[in-house]
Amino acid sequence: MAEDEADLLARARQGDAAAFGALVRLHPRRVYAAALHVTGNHSDADDVAQETFVRAYRGLATFDGRSDFFTWLYRIAVNTALTRLRSTRRASALAQAGATEAAQVGGRPEGLGAPRLQPDELAAVGEQVRATLVAMAELSPPLRVTLVLATIEGLGHRQIAELLDIPEGTVAWRVNEARRILRERLGPVAPARGAAKSRGPGA
């Protein structure tokens, strides 16, 4: 943990609201991204991000420092998003609503150094993205969030296990089961096995 963050955390735990506000401003995008990946909806992601920071402020006394502050915060965000996902039961509809935007993001590979796609190829990519999003939204919440963390966030099994507070073996089973289900529904469109590479020795 950076020295400035550690100082802010120490002050926040003593009731310094301004210090907590500064601490929050270090991580808004990553918390929002976590919420968006799980809920699949910008409106819900906004609500989840706000609730995450409220819960974190109220629960600062429970943070024991055994993990990074952001890891602890991220876990709150994922759990909050999962709770919202279970309660709304709108996962499939939300995925379809967000599919166009996701397809547009995925349809600009030239920005990532890949060859420019032709219009018909771009349309095919868009259809694949939409089909994948809908299929992922139909997974059970535990399978979906674990697959999202592995393939979209690019986290290793050890990191996911820490975030979700589950054994690494459970992470591996969930990822494999989610991919099996997606392969049955999508065939070659399903996320590739190599998509969840670990990021260094800490993964």
Q: Roughly what angle, to the nearest 10 degrees, separates helices 42-58 and 28-39?
A: 130
Q: Which residues of 158-171 are buried (b: 16+ CB within 10 A; e: fewer)?
A: ebbbbbbeeeeeeb
For 51-105, write each residue's pLDDT tens digit.
Answer: 999 999 999 888 877 778 888 888 899 889 888 876 655 544 444 444 434 333 3
CATH of domain 1-89: 1.10.1740.10
What's the pLDDT tens digit per position in 143-180? 888 888 888 778 899 988 988 889 999 999 999 999 99
Is the model's pTM score more than 0.85?
no
Domain boundaries, the chain: 1-89
What lies within 8 Å, CB to CB, of 101 at 6+ separation is none
